[in-house]
């Protein structure tokens, strides 16, 4: 087990390095630089800026400097766009916001999704099943950018119950709408996976045996069916976790949370190389960690899997 | 010999008066009997995260709005865009308008220390210092301050800048020559003072909430980029007694429609109107929907250099393209925000500027189309020898609509084939700058309220001259305008040259269309740069 984890961590290092190099090259290939604006700067001004940020050096050297600063000083450099702040500060400010609404979304989607999925499977072909199927298919096809403004329209403008945006230090009233908007389609996905996997398990021989032995229905479901049926859901949860805690641009955009999702997209559009790189590395690390976590959970849920 | 000037508008325009003045500053003027709202908080929607709060570094409009409330320069602007005294109490100027001497008032930094002439010297040197690498470093040279450009280029040291502190309350500025608009540039953040001790102590972190020290009417109390920036009244500000608004919240809302919903829900006091929605909102909320002139022009740049298609090198062809654009369709049917059709480059609302009478402006569109056809025929463009070229623009719905409709106009009226291609903004800027294009979307907003901020783009040496336009007469007129006591007639002549040579096709003059709660009073609707200071506002009880 420990060896497995260590081996995976060892592989993570070259993976991250490759990620850095590839993103670095992609960004350099894109035309323009972080300092081109509607007003073209005089070349002397531009030269000073390039020198200040080390962009006048050969590209291979920029890459080496960048990597060595990370490795030696854990320094991701200054942001080229948000000039008063470093990339580390941008991440330190935006990530906790994203992490908060992301974790809530994760919990809500998982609990609600599993519950609805199990309910639909147990009451297969009843009105409960049809209703939940109908709602989940609907929820899955409506994108976040439709749900988000709709929620604001209903709960902010018409009902006046919740603020339509802002973060306010993570006040509960500011967290609800982002979480609901982001959970919407995720609940649906989890519920649908849960339902079909539950149905499969419920149709298997050992469950039939359990029923034949006269074990009560709720016990069969909780003790015997739920755990194996969760396996496919867990496979889905890992990328979902990474997805929700790295933030949704749409959520950040519509709810002005100050989260990291919009910082990421803006940095790419603004050619804010250092910020885009920093967040890419963060996302990469989270993805690797997420995948490792899912493997560990797999082993825990299913004793047949040996690490 | 020096002469004293008053700081009134008349004096700035007329030049030389010899009275010492009592400063008539600009502040919230609440008519007697007004019932003020209990909560004096102004909530203002901004498009994006605030980039920087450092006056010498800040570059975008929203961030500058915050900085303008946290700091104060020698001058500010009044509701019409005229300079009004800020930290300066009076000034005098020498005979050839090249040395200005400013007397400073008793103003304080928010840490209680006095604002001194040395703080201006420090701030201005900082602005041109290659080590700071400010994107607005060029502005100091633009303002005409001696040696600025050479310092930016690394040929001289920041200490060589033409600014010095005679004593704590006297600042002397030496210009490289007469610069007619110099005083107008002093309300720009780049030329604000900077608190030397604080900047030196904290370095790049000096603008953090816990460190920042300003001399404006407000103090920074919260900065959550991408969410909000909050500033609150600075009781140590010299004119605080007249301030009414206690708190300003700058709320980042990326999406315009979301901004509007939150405005209607009462969460913000002011927000931009999404494209195309102005007529409807004006109908529903006549007291809240505003369309005011802005110091910006939307235009097409035509590449006139060797890298351009041959046909476009002919001024007749360019004029035909200029004439065949039905601007009324664009402003009335596409934009619908009260924008004005543009036949010349500099917005007519620019202070002191008189636009020439563009012949095309007086014609009907049918007449313009006839003339365009005739010009193309003269230039040898026929059905057998057709004209086709590519138009590039940055990805956006509004730009796309304009591109599509103009392409259609050219095709139907002139038989000219204009293909359109969108690209990312950064790519467009690069392509335009490299002159790898035929015709491109362009837009310009003035840096200060005077025509040269537009016309200097037509200088053959300007780095902003995307057309590659090169007319020796224009260059000379621009040079002459710098030393002229009244440059405005020269600006009009430059516009006439542009009309003759057509390196650009002006399309429309921007307006700022926004919703504003009726409770907010004191907004500078007639300031074409939309420079505002919350200290001039107040909110009435509804």
The mean per-residue pLDDT over the stretch A218-238 comes to: 86
Q: C-alpha angle with apex A273: A268 to A276, nearest 5 degrees?
A: 50
Are B262 and B232 contacting, i.e. CB atoms less than 8 angstroms apart?
A: no
Answer whether residue B16 shows pLDDT above 60.
no
Mean of all residue pLDDT scores within chain B = 91
Question: What percentage of chain B exceeds 90 in pLDDT?
Answer: 76
Chain A residue numbers touching B254 (CB-CB < 8 A): 252-254, 256, 262
pLDDT band at A200, cuts 50/70/90?
very high
CA distance B521 to A278: 44
- Quick: pLDDT tens for B199-229: 999 998 999 999 999 999 999 999 998 899 9
Query: Contacts by A128-133 with C-beta closer than 8 Å and gap 24+?
Result: A129/A195, A132/A191, A132/A195, A133/A192, A133/A195
**Two tokens at A21?**
């190099």
- Quick: pLDDT tens for A43-69: 888 899 989 888 899 989 999 999 898
Are B117 and B73 contacting, i.e. CB atoms less than 8 angstroms apart?
A: no
The mean per-residue pLDDT over the stretch B436-446 comes to: 94
User: Partners of B230 in the beta sheet?
Assistant: B222, B249
CA distance B134 to chain A (A): 7
**Two tokens at A125?**
């072909």
**Two tokens at A246?**
């790295």
Q: Between the CA of residue A27 and those of A24, A269, B368, B436, B470, what are the distances in Å?
A: 5, 10, 46, 21, 35
pLDDT band at B491, cuts 50/70/90?
very high
pLDDT band at B11, cuts 50/70/90?
very low
CA distance B442 to B399: 10
Q: Is the pTM of this model over 0.90?
A: no
Nearest to B227 among A84, A160, A166 (CB): A166
Any B CB within 8 A of A163 CB: yes
Are A248 and A85 contacting, i.e. CB atoms less than 8 angstroms apart?
A: no
pLDDT of residue A306: 65
pLDDT of residue B13: 38
pLDDT of residue A37: 67
CA distance A22 to A8: 21
Task: Return the CATH class of domain A93-301.
Answer: mainly alpha
User: Partners of B94 in the beta sheet?
Assistant: B2
Q: Between the CA of residue B248 and those of A120, B218, B220, B518, what are the distances in Å?
A: 51, 9, 10, 17
The mean per-residue pLDDT over the stretch A265-291 comes to: 87
Domains, chain B, in order of start with CATH, read 9-244+517-539 (3.90.76.10), 293-512 (3.10.105.10)
CA distance A42 to chain B (A): 6
- Quick: pLDDT tens for B226-252: 899 999 999 999 999 999 999 999 999
pLDDT of residue B8: 37
For chains A and B, CB pairs below 8 A equal 159
Answer whether residue B167 shows pLDDT above 90.
yes
In B233-382, where does DSSP find H-type helix?
Answer: 256-264, 278-284, 315-323, 327-328, 359-362, 365-378
Phi then psi dihedrals of residue B218, to 5 deg: -135, 155
The mean per-residue pLDDT over the stretch A112-124 comes to: 91
- Quick: pLDDT tens for A235-262: 888 888 888 887 678 898 889 999 998 8
Q: Cα dihedral sign for A55, A57, A62, A66?
A: negative
Lowest mean per-residue pLDDT among A138-152, B147-161, B207-221: A138-152
Contact between A38 and B427 using a beta-carbon 8 Å cutoff: no
User: Could you state, in order of their start, the residue ranges of all structural domains in chain A?
Assistant: 93-301
Burial of B118 (0-12, 13-18, 19+ CB in 10 A): middle
Any A CB within 8 A of B421 CB: no
CA distance B51 to chain A (A): 4
pLDDT of residue A294: 79
CA distance B2 to chain A (A): 35
The mean per-residue pLDDT over the stretch B44-60 comes to: 92
Residue with tokens 């005294």: B85
Contact between A49 and B48 using a beta-carbon 8 Å cutoff: no
- Quick: pLDDT tens for B362-414: 999 999 999 999 999 999 998 889 999 999 998 888 899 999 999 999 999 99
Phi then psi dihedrals of residue A77, to 5 deg: 85, 175
CA distance B188 to B484: 23
Q: Which residue has the higher pLDDT, A39 or B95?
A: B95
In B215-276, where does DSSP find H-type helix?
Answer: 256-264
CA distance B396 to B509: 18
The mean per-residue pLDDT over the stretch A284-304 comes to: 82
Are B432 and B299 contacting, i.e. CB atoms less than 8 angstroms apart?
A: no
Question: What 3-state DSSP class applies to B216?
Answer: coil
pLDDT of residue B27: 80
Any B CB within 8 A of A155 CB: no
Q: Select the residue from A256, A262, A263, A271 to test the B interface by mutation, using most B Cβ atoms within 10 A.
A: A256
Q: Which of A198, A191, A195, A196 is nearest to A138 (CA)?
A: A191
- Would you give the end-to-end CA distance of chain B in angstroms? 56
Contact between A156 and B262 using a beta-carbon 8 Å cutoff: yes
Does ipTM exceed 0.85? yes
Q: Cα dihedral sign for A287, A288, A294, A298?
A: positive
Answer whether residue A131 shows pLDDT above 80.
yes
Are A230 and A301 contacting, i.e. CB atoms less than 8 angstroms apart?
A: yes
Answer whether residue A222 shows pLDDT above 90.
no
The mean per-residue pLDDT over the stretch B463-475 comes to: 94
Q: Which residue has the higher pLDDT, B193 or A249?
A: B193
Any A CB within 8 A of B268 CB: no
Are B51 and A83 contacting, i.e. CB atoms less than 8 angstroms apart?
A: yes
Chain A residue numbers touching B262 (CB-CB < 8 A): 152, 156, 164-165
pLDDT of residue B151: 97
């Amino acid at each position: 087990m420990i060896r497995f984890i260590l081996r995976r961590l060892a592989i993570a290092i070259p993976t991250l390095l490759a990620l850095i190099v590839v993103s670095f090259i992609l960004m350099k290939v894109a035309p323009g630089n972080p300092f081109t604006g509607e007003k073209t700067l005089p070349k002397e001004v531009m030269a000073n800026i390039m020198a200040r940020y080390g962009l006048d050096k050969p590209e291979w050297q920029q890459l080496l400097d960048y990597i060595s600063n990370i490795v030696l000083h854990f320094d991701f450099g200054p942001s080229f766009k948000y000039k008063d702040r470093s990339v580390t500060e941008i991440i330190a400010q935006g990530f906790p916001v994203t992490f908060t609404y992301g974790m809530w979304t994760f919990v809500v989607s998982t609990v609600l999704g599993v519950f609805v999925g199990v309910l639909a499977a147990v009451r297969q072909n009843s009105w409960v099943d049809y209703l939940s199927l109908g709602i989940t298919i609907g929820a899955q096809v409506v994108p976040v950018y439709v749900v988000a403004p709709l929620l604001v329209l209903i709960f902010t403008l018409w009902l006046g119950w919740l603020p339509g945006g802002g973060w306010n230090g993570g006040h509960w009233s500011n967290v609800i709408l982002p979480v609901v908007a982001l959970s919407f389609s995720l609940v649906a996905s989890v519920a649908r996976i849960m339902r079909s996997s539950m149905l499969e398990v419920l149709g298997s021989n050992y469950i039939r045996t359990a029923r034949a032995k006269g074990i009560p229905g709720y016990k069969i479901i909780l003790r015997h069916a739920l755990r194996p049926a969760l396996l496919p859901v867990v496979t889905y949860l890992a990328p979902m976790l990474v997805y929700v805690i790295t933030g949704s641009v749409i959520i950040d955009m519509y709810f002005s949370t100050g989260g990291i999702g919009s910082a990421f997209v803006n940095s790419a559009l603004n050619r804010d190389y250092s910020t885009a790189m920093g967040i890419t590395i963060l996302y990469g690390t989270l993805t690797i960690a997420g995948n490792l976590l899912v493997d560990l959970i797999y082993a825990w849920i299913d004793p047949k899997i040996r690490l | 010999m020096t002469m004293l000037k008053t700081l009134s508008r008349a004096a700035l325009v007329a030049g030389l008066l010899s009275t010492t003045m009592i400063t008539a500053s600009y502040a919230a003027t609440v008519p007697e009997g007004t019932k003020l709202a209990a909560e004096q908080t102004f909530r203002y929607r901004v498009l994006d995260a605030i980039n920087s709060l450092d006056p010498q570094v800040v570059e975008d409009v929203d961030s500058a709005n915050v900085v303008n409330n946290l700091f104060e320069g020698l001058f500010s602007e009044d509701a019409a865009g005229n300079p009004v005294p800020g930290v300066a109490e009076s000034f005098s100027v020498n005979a050839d308008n090249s040395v200005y001497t400013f007397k400073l008032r008793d103003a304080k930094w928010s840490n209680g220390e006095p604002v001194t002439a040395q703080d201006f010297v420090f701030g201005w040197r900082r602005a041109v210092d290659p080590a700071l690498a400010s994107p607005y470093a060029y502005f100091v040279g633009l303002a005409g301050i001696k040696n600025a450009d050479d310092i930016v280029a690394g040929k001289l040291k920041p200490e060589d800048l033409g600014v010095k502190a005679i004593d704590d309350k006297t600042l002397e500025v030496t210009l490289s020559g007469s610069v007619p608009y110099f005083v107008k540039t002093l309300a720009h953040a780049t030329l604000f003072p900077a608190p030397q001790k604080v900047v030196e102590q904290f370095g790049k972190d000096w603008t953090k909430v816990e460190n920042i020290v300003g001399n404006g009417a407000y103090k920074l109390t919260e900065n959550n980029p991408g969410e909000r920036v909050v500033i609150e009244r600075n009781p140590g500000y010299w004119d605080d007694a007249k301030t009414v608004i206690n708190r300003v919240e700058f709320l980042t809302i990326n999406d315009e429609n979301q901004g509007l919903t939150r405005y209607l829900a009462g969460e913000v006091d002011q927000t931009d109107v999404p494209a195309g929605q102005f007529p409807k909102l004006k109908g529903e909320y006549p007291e809240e929907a505003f369309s005011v002139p802005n110091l910006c022009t939307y235009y097409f740049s035509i590449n006139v250099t060797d890298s351009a298609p041959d046909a476009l090198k002919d001024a007749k062809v360019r004029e035909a393209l200029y004439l065949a654009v039905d601007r009324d369709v664009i402003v009335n049917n596409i934009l619908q925000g009260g924008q004005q059709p543009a036949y010349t480059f500099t917005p007519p609302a620019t202070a002191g500027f008189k636009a020439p009478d563009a012949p095309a402006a007086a014609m009907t569109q049918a007449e313009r189309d006839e003339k365009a056809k005739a010009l193309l025929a003269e230039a040898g463009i026929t059905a057998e020898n057709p004209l086709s070229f590519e138009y590039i623009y940055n990805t956006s719905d509004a730009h796309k609509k304009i591109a599509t409709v103009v392409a259609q106009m050219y095709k139907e009226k002139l038989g000219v084939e204009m293909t359109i291609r969108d690209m990312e903004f950064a790519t467009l800027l690069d392509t335009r700058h490299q002159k790898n294009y035929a015709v491109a979307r362009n837009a310009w907003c003035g840096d200060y309220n005077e025509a040269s901020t537009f016309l200097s783009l037509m200088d053959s040496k300007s780095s902003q001259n995307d057309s590659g336009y090169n007319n020796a007469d224009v260059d000379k007129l621009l040079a002459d305008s710098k030393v002229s006591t009244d440059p405005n007639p020269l600006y009009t002549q430059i516009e006439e040259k542009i009309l003759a040579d057509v390196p650009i096709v002006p399309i429309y003059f921007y307006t700022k269309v926004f919703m504003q709660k009726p409770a907010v009073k004191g907004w500078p609707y007639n300031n074409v740069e939309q420079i505002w200071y919350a200290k001039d506002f107040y909110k009435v009880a509804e």
